[in-house]
Amino acid sequence: MPPMNAKSADTRKPKNTKATIKRLMSYLKEDKVKVGLAFVCVLVSSMTNLAGSYMLRPIINNLVADVSAAERISTLAINLVKMASIYAAGVLAAFFQARIMIGVSQRALLKLRGDLFEKLQDLPVRFFDTNNTGDIMSRFTNDVDTIGEMLNSTLVQIFQGIVSLIGTLILMFYTNFWLSIVTIVVAPIMAKIGTTIASRSRKRFTRQQAELGKVNAYIEEIVTGQKVVKVFCHEDKVIDEFETLNDSLKNAQIKAQFAGGMMGPSMNAMSQVNYTLTAGVGSILVVLGRLGRMGSFSALDIGGLTVFVNFSRQFSRPINELAQQLTIVMSALAGAERVFDVMDREPESDRGDIVLDHVHGDVVIDDITFGYNPDKTILKNVSIYAHPGQKIALVGSTGAGKTTITNLITRFYDIDKGKITIDGIDIFDINRSSLRENIAVVLQDTHLFTGTVMENIRYGRLDATDAEVRMAAITSNAHSFIQHLPEGYDTVLEGDGSNLSQGQRQLLNIARAALSKAPILILDEATSSVDTRTERDINKGMDSLMEDRTTFVIAHRLSTIRNADAIMVLENGEIIERGSHEELLEKKGRYYELYMGIKELD
């Protein structure tokens, strides 16, 4: 198999922010009316907050006005009722906005996760061989979660901030022109600080997401291989390696969070400066106005000063909040590009349109050459033919290329040179699904899904009846142990069949293949995980399983392939011997050495 680096992760920087945003927004297209309604609610909520704040001006001015107590109380009551009504409308608008956007964002995430999962089904085996499961899972969890946070709240908060900023600015100019100028002079400085911090944060948040993917990948790898870790007493080693990765994640998070966290204090400091300056200048204008030394254009009353000081804080708050939301947007965009990176990978090529029908199982491998990587050739000019119903065995040292041949027959990988045909048809001209429907595979590494024993066997052919499933179990010799399970065929398997022995798990995999009606069968060291006695029982069932099927067998126990029609001995990607069991023994070549060596071990 191709090499795989367990600690690799996508650390590339975001390439095109505009394209990523546009692509994310496409997931909201179906709910654009609801999104529009939500933004109308945001607009109403923002405007009512501004109007409610402005209501303080007449209330305060009324309290200091030279009127009777009864008139003052009456006016105060009316203004308070108006203010309460305005705020009530704002609360309702905020409620409906939140309710709408939760549904919209979750539907968008539903489609995004669905598209990502669907894409995974179209990706070639090479992708899964060269990418860590933990890092792939990180796209579904951490990356999608950050996108969800942005769609759920950040977008509306940004819009709300912009509306509040514009609305506050308008009311500030309406209240007093000169104080507005003072506030606006400070605004570009605040904006410059915010954009500078945001630009520096972007790269750090991207790095944080990549480091998180590494940690998740390593945890998944170690949890899966926990028995191997324990049996070789590598607990201390994996702890050290995890601490290294964890420390890198910590450093990346510190840098990212620090960069993002600087936004708030920086904006607050500038806000205080702006507040102090506004209050000072505003107080002077009020005093001068009361002394009659200011024109009506520049005059300012006490209520106006109170409102303006409040607006000056509100003016800086949207800028502060917008800057803080940028950190979430950056993290979400970094996650989105990791998700879209998977979606944009090239799917399995399938130029074939021929659908196989009534396959006889005549397989010809003609002078094929292949390498997982361009700089390393695994198979060199290999030729094998198998007539319908024949049993072809592939033997040789580890890494000789046996499993690679079966990967090419199933088109898990595509050959570099040569041709493979089934019943005279080039497999490149055959529809990929049709090709694999006619090939049953039992891999050395077993895999069972969460579900009942019956469901796991039926995975070989979903339309099979219960009786056919049981017959397949009998054929593979799995029926006897299944009967002794707590619920028999209805026993639920979890954790990849962790409540079964390795041999029992393999028997279920063999039963799955037995259920398939595929005329071509590939057994990749299918009995390597069972004991000798179980192997004998399996082989009895396998004889009937292989009957009338063209079978390719990779076996480490050479005694199991004596009755093969032809045995191919591979070394360094080349076939160095071929013939029957007896013919190869008479040659006293490599097969003879392998057979006699294993026989002595047995």
Tell whether 519 and 555 lie within a shared domain. yes
The structure's pTM equals 0.70
Tell whether 210 and 293 lie within a shared domain. yes
Pick the last residue of a domain from 343, 375, 392: 343
Query: Domain holding 43: CATH number?
Result: 1.20.1560.10
Token pair, residue 16, equals 């095109």
Q: Please report, rounded to a whole number, the percentage of residues in the chain having pLDDT higher than 70.
A: 85
Residue 11 has pLDDT above 70, yes or no: no
48-102, pLDDT tens digit by residue? 888 888 888 887 777 777 777 787 788 888 888 988 898 899 899 989 988 898 8
- Is residue 176 situated within a structural domain? yes
Where does residue 41 rank: exposed (0-12), middle (13-18), buried (19+ CB within 10 A)?
Answer: buried
What is the domain count for the chain?
A: 2
Residue 162 has pLDDT above 90, yes or no: no
**CB contact burial 224-263 (16+ within 10 A = b; e otherwise):** eeeeebeeeeeeeeeeeeeeebbebbeebbebbeebbebb
Tell whether 89 and 181 lie within a shared domain. yes
Q: Are 477 and 538 in contact (CB under 8 A)?
A: yes
Strand partners, 569: 395, 577
Tell whether 443 and 519 lie within a shared domain. yes
What is the domain range of residue 80?
18-343
Check residues 107 and 72 and name the one with the higher pLDDT: 107
Q: What is the number of other CB atoms lying within 10 angstroms of the CB of residue 488?
A: 14
Tell whether 475 and 378 lie within a shared domain. yes
- Is residue 351 situated within a structural domain? no
DSSP string, 310-368: HHHHHHHHHHHHHHHHHHHHHHHHHHHHHHHHHHTS--------BPP-S----EEEEEE
Tell whether 184 and 218 lie within a shared domain. yes
- Is residue 357 situated within a structural domain? no
Q: Are 90 and 48 in contact (CB under 8 A)?
A: yes
Tell whether 320 and 389 lie within a shared domain. no
Residue 428: predicted pLDDT: 92
- Is residue 348 situated within a structural domain? no
Pick the last residue of a domain from 313, 343, 373: 343
460-492, pLDDT tens digit by residue? 888 999 999 999 898 888 898 999 999 999 999
pLDDT band of 243, cuts 50, 70, 90: very high
Q: Furthest-apart CA pair in the chain: how many Å?
A: 125
Tell whether 368 and 273 lie within a shared domain. no
125-154, pLDDT tens digit by residue? 888 888 888 788 888 888 898 898 888 878
Tell whether 393 and 246 lie within a shared domain. no
Check residues 273 and 216 and name the one with the higher pLDDT: 216
- Is residue 8 situated within a structural domain? no
Q: Give the position of tokens 């933990």.
A: 134
Residue 496 has pLDDT above 80, yes or no: no
Tell whether 448 and 318 lie within a shared domain. no
- Is residue 355 situated within a structural domain? no
Tell whether 157 and 213 lie within a shared domain. yes
- Is residue 548 situated within a structural domain? yes
- Is residue 430 situated within a structural domain? yes
Q: How many residues does the chain have?
A: 602
| CA atoms in the 13 A half-sphere facing the CB of 294 | 19
Tell whether 188 and 334 lie within a shared domain. yes
Check residues 550 and 68 and name the one with the higher pLDDT: 550
Query: Domain holding 471: CATH number?
Result: 3.40.50.300
515-529, pLDDT tens digit by residue? 888 899 998 876 665
Distance separating alpha carbons of residues 538 and 382, to the nearest angstrom: 30
Pick the last residue of a domain from 343, 373, 394: 343
